[in-house]
């Protein structure tokens, strides 16, 4: 039976995982190198520690081997998530759950010892995308303080270009989770998919960047 969990990385995703597990009655240690994040969560978990999770010596001092589950929630840095995963594996943590931001990231983490890989943005996005109504208008959905989803009608500058060429993730910190063409909703399109006139893109990402994208799109109306 799982009694204790260590959550490494307490950004938006990690913070929610840690606080929910604590609310459910588990012993939870939340770890991050960011002092402000650690202070913010300190009263919401069993213990909160400021620590660089890419540093083996620092991880050793946390006593990671004493926890039943390790959640590697730092998805942005491959180096940090790899170091934490390897360390948890070497210290016989019963279950290692790691956040990934790409299939390559996931493949590496799985190979070095992660038992379960999660894609928070994709998983959340797919669930939401399936519920979108068939509108051709630009729609803007704030479904939490952190994330927003945009339904974007293809405008001239996008038509004929692939998702790889446009690279919404790099430019706007938004990811294309689906598109609609001729009334059909396609989930998780390939990077080489080319946008056609009358296509509608469904994008998910940070609310601040969603606002930025919407303002830019408004210029083409």
Dist. CA 217–CA 152, nearest whole Å: 8
pTM value > 0.85: no
pLDDT of residue 142: 45
**Any idea which residue has 């170091």 for tokens?**
83
The more confident residue out of 78 and 97 is: 97
Per-residue pLDDT tens over the stretch 73-82? 986 678 888 8
Task: List pLDDT tens digits, range 100-130.
Answer: 877 788 888 999 999 988 877 666 555 544 4
Owner of token pair 């797919």: 126
Is 94 or 103 the better-scoring residue by pLDDT? 94
Q: Which domains does the chain have, with CATH numbers?
A: 4-118 (3.40.50.720), 123-218 (3.30.70.1450)
In angstroms, the CA 124 to CA 148 distance is: 11
Share of the chain above pLDDT 70, in %: 81
82-92 tens-digit pLDDT: 889 999 999 99
pLDDT per residue as tens digits for the range 164-214: 898 888 887 788 888 888 878 787 788 888 999 889 888 877 767 766 776
For all residues of the chain together, what is the average pLDDT?
A: 81
Torsion from C-alpha of 12, 32, 74, 5, nearest 10 degrees: -90
pLDDT of residue 124: 58
Mean pLDDT for the stretch of residues 40-68? 91
Cα torsion for 125, 37, 15, 101, to the nearest 10°? 40
pLDDT for the residue numbered 42:
95
Q: For the residues 149-174, what does the mean pLDDT come to?
A: 85
Do 6 and 59 touch, CB atoms closer than 8 A? no
């Amino acid at each position: 039976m799982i009694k204790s969990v260590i959550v490494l990385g307490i950004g938006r995703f990690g913070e929610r995982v840690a606080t929910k597990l604590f609310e459910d009655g588990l012993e939870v240690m939340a770890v991050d190198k960011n002092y402000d994040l650690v202070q913010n969560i300190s009263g919401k978990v069993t213990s909160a520690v400021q620590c660089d999770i890419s540093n083996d010596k620092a991880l050793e001092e946390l006593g990671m081997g004493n926890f039943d589950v390790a959640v590697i929630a730092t998805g942005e840095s491959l180096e940090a998530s790899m170091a934490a995963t390897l360390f948890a594996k070497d210290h016989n943590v019963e279950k290692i759950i790691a956040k990934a931001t790409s299939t390559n990231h996931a493949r590496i983490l799985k190979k070095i010892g992660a038992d379960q890989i999660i894609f928070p943005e994709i998983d959340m996005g797919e669930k939401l995308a399936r519920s979108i109504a068939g509108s051709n208008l630009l729609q803007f959905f704030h479904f939490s303080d952190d994330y927003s989803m945009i339904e974007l009608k293809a405008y001239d500058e996008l038509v004929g270009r692939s998702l790889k060429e446009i690279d919404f993730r790099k430019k706007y910190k938004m990811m294309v989770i689906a598109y609609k063409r001729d009334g059909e909703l396609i989930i998780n399109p390939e990077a080489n998919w080319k946008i056609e006139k009358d296509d509608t893109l469904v994008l998910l990402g940070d609310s601040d960047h969603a606002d930025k994208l919407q303002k830019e799109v408004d210029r083409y109306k």
